[in-house]
Structure 1
């Protein structure tokens, strides 16, 4: 069954902000297309080499407006210095935590660097939190997540959880984008109170070391359908993931929406292209969303 923002039983603050994002921006039909731009922190400037113009946050903000996105997700520094010019034209999702890729280790923890109060001050319509499921630092991660969740509830701010399986134990059980790992992460985020869950598209063919019954053969449609169900009454956003052919990404978008997802969150797959090509691909994604009103 498709979960709708209006049926979540949320408080008025969260309901007002989610309704504004999903029904007054983008397609305006309850579906969503978000533009994340936290890769400069997560990966460094190397992600902008493919399209140097994308290194400018102003370029990204304008692209989000031009492309009819439901929101742009950025870290606190960029939100403070660049969002003001486009405030009210495109919703802001303030990412509250993040980490560099240095050092790379299995004990991933994404430290909190901003607050829900700052999100309110900046005019955000949601906050984002990256939760690493399965790492040795999971206990500390859940502690800082609890504080964010409580603040979001107190201030009526929708909470979007980037539910990411990580760590050596995950790699021993199919890998971070296996059906097992993605499905587990979606369930964890839902049980911990996420209003919206962001996950990668699952790969059911990755079965080495996974738990039963994930070692069985599943189609991609069966896998993404199970992930959406595991999120229960949390809305689901599917990530663009690693860049592949346009037709393959559009087909994954279609399967995601067919499974009951609320929408898509595509970053590098969009802004690493030249400007006009970015807008054309965003338009093709919106055509998929238009067929699945919520």
Structure 2
């Protein structure tokens, strides 16, 4: 606990002692070793989906805790391989991506058809694979907020993946088509026994104003989460909320004053608690993304993990902060994240 508090610095007391009052923890279905039996087994998911989800929860340093630490490396498509891997060229080789996930004690590795397919016979039985089905790519000019299917559900099944992942850019012009494509892909994945993870991101130039970037507002990302669980995502990946009031700022859509006056506050844990509430009060686990790599990555990663866990989230999915560093430093960062979820002193707020 002392190490975690040290990482948090001046925020330690505010983050570690906060109690959520607008949405108390007692109303939530919280992560735990029995989460599959207690929550997911009540759903329409097939036994083979439950088995694959349990395999994901039972792998790595967090095995048996009910929490997830995932390594996602699909940035080479959307951000270009150069932008992603030039900082650490060993990761141009897909095998090193999987090795980092294994050495870092992750529950699973999420990546592209090419990355996982090129090493699947060596590693698919050693760490759970999550095949990311769709991507945005930045060679199309001018850029547009869209996602294209790069892989099929059958290819994920054939390589031994335990789950498929996909992105929907909620709020973008192409979002309706993306919802249809991903909904059908998730239905097919469930039929074949694989779990589903949705990158539920908001994308619209109107969501960013002169005052704030509401792509990370609790109310807009919360609604994206609610749409994600509507198409039966088993796990939702979401950017951590940093502000609130997106609906009011863009003057579009519908909300309630109670969202801002009673259910949330300006405290970061309260903002993320609202994101979790939109995942059927925790019946579907929400993992937060680790964000871009920078100069203060270890502190930021631990801070994000503490907020996610105390809000009732299910874990962290951190890529660039880990793989854009020397291998050993990446392992250290992933382990620091996991230590938050293993700590009995970091409790639900």
1:39 matched to which residue of 2? 75
1:174·1:210 contact (CA, 8 Å) conserved in 2? no
1:5 aligns with 2:57: no
Q: Deviations over 1:175-234 (max 9, x none)?
A: 322223221211110122111100011111676825664677521010001101111121
Q: Does 1:95 align with 2:145?
A: no
1:24-57, CA deviations, whole angstroms, 9 ceiling, x for partnerless residues? 3331122110000101011112121221222221
Match of 1:238 in 2: 288
How does the TM-score come out when normalised to structure 1? 0.92
Equivalent residue, structure 1, for 2:312: 260
Give the CA deviation at 1:174. Answer: 4.2
2:52 equivalent to 1:21? no
RMSD: 2.3
Q: Which residue number corresponds to residue 180 of structure 1?
A: 219
- Counterpart check, 1:201 vs 2:240: yes
State the secondary structure of the residue aligned to 1:130.
Answer: strand
The residue that corresponds to 2:175 in the other structure is 138
Could you tell me how far apart the structure 1 residues matched to 2:139 and 2:112 are?
A: 18
- Max radius of gyration: which structure? 2
CA deviation digits over 1:114-171, x for unaligned, max 9?
1211111101010001111001111211221122022012112111000010022333
SS at match of 1:203: coil
Deviation >3 Å, runs of 4+ = 102-107, 205-208, 210-217
In the alignment, what sits opposite 1:281? 333
Mapping for residues 13-162 of structure 1, pairs under 5 Å: 13-28=48-63, 29-45=65-81, 46-103=83-140, 107-162=144-199
| Unaligned runs of at least 5 residues, structure 1 | none
Matched-pair contact (CA < 8 Å) for 2:288–2:317: yes
Tell me the distance in 1 between the aligned counterparts of 2:103 and 2:213: 39
Partner SS, residue 13 of structure 1 = helix
* CA-CA distance at 1:82 after TM superposition: 2.0
Mapping of 1:213-228 within 5 angstroms?
Answer: 213=257, 218-228=266-276
2:94/2:116 contact within 8 Å kept: no
Match of 2:341, SS state, is: helix
**Distance (Å, rounded) in 2 between the aligned partners of 1:75 and 1:44:** 13
Q: 1:26 to 1:116 in 2, by over 3 A?
A: farther
Indicate the larger mover: 270-279 or 139-148: 139-148
Please give the per-residue CA displacement for 1:61-116, whole angstroms capped at 9, x wherever unaligned.
11111111111111111221123222211110001111212346685221112121
Aligned length: 294
2:249 match: secondary structure: coil
TM-score (norm 2): 0.78
Comparing 243-252 and 224-233, the one that deviates more: 243-252
Contact residue 301 and residue 337 of structure 2 kept, 8 A: no
Q: Distance in 1 between matches of 2:163 and 2:89?
A: 28
